[in-house]
Amino acid sequence: MDQEPFLRSRLFCPGPTPTPVAFRTAPLVRTPYHRSEEFYRRFLNCRSLMQEIIHSEVAPLILTCSGTGALEAAVQNLTAEGDEVLVIHCGRFGERWRDICKRYLCTVHTVEAPYGSVPDIGAIKTALIKNPGIKAVFFQGTETSTAVTLPIQTIADVIRQNSSALIIVDAISYLLAHPFDMQAMAVDVVAFASQKAFGLAPGLAFLGLSPKAWQGISKRPRFYFDLNDEQRSQDKGVSIWTPAIDLVISLEVCLERVKAIGTNAIADWHRQAASAVRGAMQALDLELLASDHFAHGVTAVRIPRGIDGKALTRHLREQYAATFAGGQGPLEGKIFRIGHLGFVDRFDLIAGIAALEFTLNDLGRKVAFGTGVGTYMKALR
Ligand SMILES: *Cc1c(COP(=O)(O)O)cnc(C)c1O
């Protein structure tokens, strides 16, 4: 079957996510020079709107890089060679923290859990008590590769009770999909990026630091990501290096939209969407990867027996122009992931679930049309 004419491409990945037209067109209308009063005003407005979103004491920094750049900047600026750190991991992205810390010659302790579960709080406590020299603890808000969410507040509490280590969270696929409050959660460093819930193109990453984290900046050599230099420059209204100007202009439109809707309403929608999508998968007799701690921005589903995992995502994309994410690392070919992160609305997901129903039937797994879609609609009634 050739793809039908007029089929529209739809993204159902946990990043990049669909970009609203108003965000895309803002820089086309007008792109100011980055060393101008107009740009400084917009840049500072973005930092202060983001500060409201994450509830930080200090305005976050805007970096020109993908999300991993912000993770690297955190490790580079907050650890020194030989420092003991703890990495809590349960999937591909947690392993990324571990790998960056190793590359920067930290002494890395880990608390791990199998893909699909979350690490045990008791094991985190034990690791902290056994290794009192630990200076920083790294983990994810949402482990995007398995679609589970770590209990940030509980983990932060256990760290605070047993250690004075910095608490460093990759909230790249967590922010906006879940309620987040840096000060209430006692998080010291938070990283997030443009292409997830903010619905922008990739290219900007953000780093929020608590006063304690600012005091804890290490003496490593660094250049592009020197956060002290960045903060001095950004407090005047522009990054040291040329920023992704167009993305900053789009970001301002996005953040004004987020403010108008409200972060509570946004997180609440993500929770409802995730729950409705899980209901649809179960109605289609598909098994979820996780049994609890479900992420609100992405759902991971096991590939049913008898179907080739890669063929499933390929068929969705080639026949129905619906881009779902596959599995990563040991989960490659074993799961598919549906992103419902950012500016995805209730009707978009009907198209996604319908594309999945067509695909399952095409690939020989007979499901009654509307089974998933109907369950999803009833859940959102
Ligand atoms: C998307 C994502 C990243 C960032 O990856 P980049 O490709 O560098 O933008 C990091 N951590 C998590 C949990 C993510 O979901």
Closest among 277, 303, 278 to 292, alpha carbons compared = 278
Name the helix (H) or strand (E) containing 21.
Answer: helix 21-29
Q: What is the mean pLDDT of the chain?
A: 97
Give 1's pLDDT tier (boundaries 50, 70, 90): low
Residues 107 and 86: their CA atoms lie apart, in Å, by: 9
Instruction: Give the tens place of pLDDT for each residue, 206-229.
Output: 999 999 999 999 999 999 999 999
Q: Which atom of ligand 1 is nearest to the CA of 69?
A: 8
The response to whether residue 66 sits with its C-beta less than 6 Å from ligand 1 reads: yes
Residue type, 247: L
The response to whether residue 194 sits with its C-beta less than 6 Å from ligand 1 reads: no
Q: Which atom of ligand 1 is nearest to the CA of 173?
A: 15
Atom 12, ligand 1: which residue's CA is nearest?
A: 172
Residue type, 271: R
The response to whether residue 68 sits with its C-beta less than 6 Å from ligand 1 reads: yes
Closest among 120, 227, 220, 208 to 167, alpha carbons compared = 208
Q: How many CB atoms lie within 10 A of CB 32?
A: 17
Look up the pTM and report it.
0.97
Ligand 1 center to 97 CA (angstroms): 11
337 forms beta bridges with 300, 325
Instruction: Give the tens place of pLDDT for each residue, 3-20.
Output: 788 999 999 999 999 999
Instruction: Give the tens place of pLDDT for each residue, 178-191.
Output: 999 999 999 999 99
Share of residues in the chain with pLDDT > 70 (%): 100
Task: Supply angle C-alpha 203, 72, 132, rounded to 5.
Answer: 150
Choice from 13, 17, 72, 93 to test ligand 1 binding pocket (greatest atom count within 8 A of CB): 93
Indicate the SS3 state at residue 237. Answer: coil
Query: Does the structure show a pLDDT above 80 at 2?
Result: no
Atom 2, ligand 1: which residue's CA is nearest?
A: 172
The response to whether residue 144 sits with its C-beta less than 6 Å from ligand 1 reads: yes
Instruction: Give the tens place of pLDDT for each residue, 345-379.
Output: 999 999 999 999 999 999 999 999 999 999 999 99
Residues 101 and 105: their CA atoms lie apart, in Å, by: 6
The response to whether residue 56 sits with its C-beta less than 6 Å from ligand 1 reads: no
The response to whether residue 204 sits with its C-beta less than 6 Å from ligand 1 reads: no
Instruction: Give the tens place of pLDDT for each residue, 270-306.
Output: 999 999 999 999 999 999 999 999 999 999 999 999 9
Task: Supply angle C-alpha 173, 178, 183, rounded to 5.
Answer: 100
DSSP count for the chain of H helices, then E strands: 14, 13
